[in-house]
């Protein structure tokens, strides 16, 4: 019982860290058509993401790898039943990655607009679909006793799923605009900060609506009722959300960004903790649900993989801390001299 629980916690933490780190990339790509007034603004936005985006996606690969190694039955059910939705996310992320490399390969405005559009689609669609996916995990999806998904892509686009998608998009938009406020100067800096301030009330309203919908359509609160100490997680989420607003008003952009990061982590963990022990909850019959216990690998596999995780995850963290320290400064005009994606 202990090893599956540890791996479930690790699974949830990896997703939370991924959303925290790649969230500002996804938010910036979504915002770029609305924030950037000219090509220089767009190039600055590319460079605020450039050194970080591919390292951030390592956490997505790690979260998927943990699902495969620790919970293979869940992985099989998820990647067969939800194939269409997951492939949409994959293709969108590929589009986003390619746009960084291809945008400045041809000195032509139409060519650049094409890849700017790809960056937008490759950022907005994953942000939306990740929110839809996790909301449906919280609500439950129609899987039968064999773990076969009894639905379509449109089954996931229910009101609660779409509410989760909108919440994620707003979280990432605020997160991305705060990152741009940290990394840019002058008018672009002011517009990014202004957008964060204007979007925050919409995020607050959507968070409240999603919480009410969660009470109505899911059983996430059962774990919190059984273990009241766990309520510290939603309390942290609320406190971080309020702190974000306070720091925005004071123009303390780094503090606001860290508050936004904590909000994303706490919101994700709120859902994951409420979901435990389910990984894929069946809306057809609770007995069909795939949990951390009935879909986990053998104890030996879990022990070996835990050793691997404890060895390599700190190395990844150390690498990313170094990258963020190396590129901690704002993007300067001279940084735009080279014609490259970032």
- How does pLDDT run across 187-201, given as a tens digit for each residue? 999 999 999 999 999
Q: How confident is the model at residue 222 (pLDDT cuts 50, 70, 90)?
A: very high
Decide if pLDDT at 341 tops 50: no
Give, for 278, the enclosing helix (H) or strand (E). Answer: strand 278-280
Residue located via tokens 């540890």: 6
Of 58, 16, 25, 14, residue with least CA distance to 265: 16
Burial 172-187 (b: 16+ CB within 10 A, else e): bbbbbbbbbbbbbeee
Q: How many domains does the chain fold into?
A: 1
Q: How confident is the model at residue 148 (pLDDT cuts 50, 70, 90)?
A: confident
Q: How much is the average pLDDT of 245-257?
A: 96
Q: How much is the average pLDDT of 248-255?
A: 95
Decide if pLDDT at 336 tops 70: no
Distance of CA 155 to the CA centre of its chain: 22
* Residue at 341 is within a domain: no
* Residue at 98 is within a domain: yes
Decide if pLDDT at 65 tops 60: yes
| 82 within 8 A of 148, measured Cβ to Cβ | no
Q: How far apart are CA 209 and CA 211, in angstroms?
A: 5
pLDDT, residue 81, reads 76
* Residue at 342 is within a domain: no
Decide if pLDDT at 342 tops 60: no
Residue 74: domain span? 2-336
* Residue at 262 is within a domain: yes
Q: How confident is the model at residue 339 (pLDDT cuts 50, 70, 90)?
A: low
24-28, 143-147, 300-304, 333-337: range with lowest mean pLDDT: 333-337
Q: How confident is the model at residue 22 (pLDDT cuts 50, 70, 90)?
A: very high
* Residue at 63 is within a domain: yes
And the tokens for 113?
Answer: 């607009």
Of 163, 139, 158, residue with least CA distance to 286: 139
pLDDT, residue 204, reads 96
Q: How much is the average pLDDT of 16-40?
A: 93
Q: How confident is the model at residue 340 (pLDDT cuts 50, 70, 90)?
A: low
Percentage with pLDDT > 90 across the chain: 66
Of 115, 106, 134, 155, residue with least CA distance to 339: 106
Decide if pLDDT at 216 tops 70: yes
């Amino acid at each position: 019982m202990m090893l599956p629980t540890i791996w479930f916690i690790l699974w949830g933490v990896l997703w939370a860290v991924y959303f925290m780190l790649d969230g500002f990339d996804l938010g910036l790509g979504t915002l770029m058509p609305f924030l950037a007034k000219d090509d220089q603004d767009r190039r600055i936005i590319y460079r605020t993401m450039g050194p970080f985006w591919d390292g951030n996606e390592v956490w997505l690969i790690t979260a998927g790898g943990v699902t495969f190694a620790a919970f293979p039955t869940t992985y099989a059910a998820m990647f067969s039943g939800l194939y269409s939705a997951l492939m949409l996310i994959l293709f969108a992320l590929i589009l986003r990655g390619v746009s960084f490399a291809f945008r400045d390969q041809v000195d032509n405005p139409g060519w650049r607009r094409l890849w700017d559009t790809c960056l937008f689609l490759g950022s907005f669609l994953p942000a939306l679909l990740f929110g839809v996916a996790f909301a449906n995990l919280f609500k439950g999806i129609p899987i039968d006793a064999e773990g076969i998904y009894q639905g379509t892509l449109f089954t996931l686009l229910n009101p609660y799923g779409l509410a989760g998608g909108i919440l994620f998009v707003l979280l990432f938009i605020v997160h991305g605009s705060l990152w741009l406020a940290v990394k840019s100067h002058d008018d672009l800096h002011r517009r990014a900060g202004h957008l964060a301030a204007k979007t925050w009330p919409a995020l607050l309203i959507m968070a409240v609506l999603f919480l009410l919908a969660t009470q109505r359509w899911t059983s996430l609160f059962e774990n919190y009722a059984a273990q009241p100490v766990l309520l510290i997680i939603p309390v942290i989420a609320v406190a971080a959300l309020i702190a974000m607003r306070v720091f925005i008003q004071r123009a303390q952009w780094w503090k606001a960004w860290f508050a936004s990061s904590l909000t994303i982590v706490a919101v994700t963990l709120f859902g994951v903790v409420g979901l435990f022990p389910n990984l894929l909850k069946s809306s057809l019959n609770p007995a069909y649900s795939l949990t951390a216990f009935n879909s986990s690998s053998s104890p030996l596999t879990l022990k070996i993989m835990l050793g691997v995780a404890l060895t390599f995850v700190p190395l990844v963290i150390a690498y990313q801390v170094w990258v963020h320290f190396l590129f901690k400064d704002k993007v300067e005009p001279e940084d735009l001299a080279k014609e490259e994606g970032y």
